[in-house]
Amino acid sequence: MTRILALARITWLNGRRRHAVWGLFVFALALEAAGFSFADFFGHDLGRAASDWVFSIMWMAGLLFTLFYAVRAVAWDENHRVIDSILAHPVSRGEYVLGMALGLWMLALTLEAALGLVGLGVLAWMRHSIDPAYFPHFSTARFALAWLGLQAALAMMLAALMLFSGLLRGAFPVLLSMLAWLLTGSGIPVVEQSLQRMAERGHPAPVLQGIVHWLGAAFPNPGRLDFKDAVVSARPLPDLGLDPTWALALALLYAAVALALAIALYERRDIY
Amino acid sequence: MIEFHNVSKTYPRQIGERAAHRALTDASFVLPPGGTLGLVGQNGAGKSTTLRILMGYMRPDAGEARVLGRDPAEAAVRRRVGYLPEISTFPENLTCAEMLRFVGRCRGMDEQRIARAAEAWLKRLELWEARNRLLRGFSKGMKQRASFAAALIHDPELLILDEPMSGLDPLGRADIVSLIRELREAGKSILFCSHLLDDVQRLTDSLVVLHRGRILFAGGVEELRHRFTREGEAPPDLQDAFIALVRDADTGGRP
């Protein structure tokens, strides 16, 4: 555990001092702050529009962090032989996978925590500065829940990234795999709906439906962890079609399984 | 300390290559406790592959490698080994002190012991003033000395040094030579890989010469020099003996 935490700490420190991460933070912060100007554009449902904006920026920042920083961070270690120094001191490969994933997640959490606090401030300020008719409901607890859902989606993505990094060599193949993983995960619900409609019209395809259903386990839909609709709604969560406990538990289980597979792959591979 | 028995390793064929590359063939050598062994060869001879197998980064296809009596792939073995890679490869946005703290924590040392050892080694290697600077601002020689401090901070039994003089100026090189001598006198076992045969001659008792993945010679430095001594002449230096050995292997002994 000491080695995992020590590695996570240097991954966090190293990332925190990178200009790319600061650039992403400043860019996302500027976009989030631009939410203040929403008051001039949206007459109705301002709360929903502003909340969607804040969470979309946080999701975009997490996505950019994963696809353009985290993907490179892992491949960099192998290409520049940083992994040699780490394993020599003497971190096991399993500890490397866990330490790296934890460090990257901590870095993403730092970024998201800052953006989350600013986003919360933006929404709170808006609510107090306009007529309550335009922004009737806002729940800080639900904001925290939506933020937690985003972090669970990020943890799942980073675990998948570690798995692909164990399977493939180099940043570009891992980036392509991550994009395919994300697109497949987001596309499966659409295919499921289409098959459901076909079945309702009397053309059931049970085998295909079964395959698509189980594919959803390998390619999860991050949209299931999107609870932002609840932030500005007074309706109970089940009425909004949200089941946070189950979705968060499945996301954590997915991350744990993906990391276990990544460790098994790393243990077996030669480091050239 | 190190046993390498009939080890072979082939790298898989890459896109654009016609065949897989055989990096090591049936290589055997032993480093006894307290001994100093030089591993020499041209570029592509198989030195890095040998070191990577000894560090557990890759597994041999055939044969067996043992370090301190155990499989080098076990992380527990590396706890007793100090490894100096050819190029300093720590994350560059860490300070030297943070890097040593990471190494010390990973080696199970407490904060006080890390602080004491880091201070001693950084002073010995003339990096104490630069301890809070980021590694990305270090010169090549400073990075090499920082890596030395990381390799030695836990007082290892066995040292595996890959090109330890790489990037050092003449004064730095002389300092590292004297440091390796001190370590040898302190009873450490040292495997030393270098292109600089003068240093190998000065620092090691025995030698393994690798050529195209095969071991051409394994024995004492003096034994190799005497093998190529002409009648009535003084033994050649190690560099000339090495060149003669490699040329003999390439030409099959024909002039």
SS (H, E, C) chain A: CHHHHHHHHHHHHHHHCCHHHHHHHHHHHHHHHHHHHHHHCCCCCHHHHHHHHHHHHHHHHHHHHHHHHHHHHHHHHHHCCHHHHHHCCCCCHHHHHHHHHHHHHHHHHHHHHHHHHHHHHHHHHHHHHCCHHHCCCCCHHHHHHHHHHHHHHHHHHHHHHHHHHHHCCCHHHHHHHHHHHHHHHHHHHHHHHHHHHHHHCCCCCHHHHHHHHHHHHHCCCHHHHCCHHHCCCCCCHHHHCCCHHHHHHHHHHHHHHHHHHHHHHHHHCCCC
pLDDT value at residue A41? 63
Give every CB contact of residue B73 below 8 A, 6+ residues apart in sequence. Answer: B56, B59
pLDDT value at residue B229? 79
- For residue A11, the chain B residue with the least C-alpha distance is B91
- Mean pLDDT, residues B93-115 taken together: 89
Q: What's the angle, vertex CA A11, arms to CA A9 and CA A15, rounded to 5?
A: 120
Q: A76, A83, A89: which to substitute to probe chain B, counting the most B Cβ within 10 Å? A: A89
Residue with tokens 């600089």: B196
Domain count, chain A: 1
Q: At residue B255, does pLDDT exceed 60?
A: no
- Interior/surface letters B199-211, b for 16+ CB within 10 angstroms, e for the rest: bbbebbbbbbbbb
CA distance B80 to chain A (A): 9
Bridge partner residues of B22 (DSSP): B10
CA distance B8 to B156: 28
Task: Give the structural domain span for A129.
Answer: 2-268
Give every CB contact of residue B122 below 8 A, 6+ residues apart in sequence. Answer: B96, B100, B128, B131, B149
Residues 88-147 of chain A with CB under 8 A from chain B are: 88-92, 95
pLDDT in tens, chain A (272 residues): 888 999 899 899 888 888 888 888 888 888 887 766 765 666 667 777 888 888 888 999 998 988 888 888 888 888 788 888 888 778 888 899 999 999 999 999 999 999 999 888 888 887 787 777 777 777 888 889 899 999 999 999 999 999 998 888 888 888 999 898 988 888 888 888 888 888 888 888 788 888 888 888 888 888 788 888 777 777 777 777 777 788 888 889 999 999 999 998 888 777 77
Q: Are B76 and A90 an interchain contact pair (Cβ–Cβ within 8 Å)? A: yes
Instruction: Answer yes or no: is the ipTM higher than 0.90.
Output: no
Q: Which of B71, B40, B31, B32 is nearest to B55 (CA)?
A: B71
Higher pLDDT, A259 or B175: A259
Higher pLDDT, B253 or A36: A36
pLDDT value at residue A259? 93
Half-sphere exposure of A133 (CA within 13 A, CB side): 3
B206-211 vs B62-67, strand pairing mode: unpaired
Name the pLDDT band for B254 (thresholds 50, 70, 90): low
Q: Which of B110, B24, B124 is nearest to B64 (CA)?
A: B24
pLDDT value at residue A48? 79
* Rg of chain B over all Cα atoms, to the nearest angstrom: 19
Q: At residue B165, does pLDDT exceed 60?
A: yes
- For residue B60, the chain A residue with the least C-alpha distance is A270
Residue with tokens 């690798």: B210
Q: At residue B185, does pLDDT exceed 70?
A: yes
Q: Are A270 and B90 an interchain contact pair (Cβ–Cβ within 8 Å)? A: no
CA separation, residue A269 to residues A86, B46, B58 (Å): 16, 19, 7
CB-defined contacts A:B, below 8 A:
86
CA distance B223 to B211: 18
pLDDT value at residue B197? 81
- For residue B72, the chain A residue with the least C-alpha distance is A88
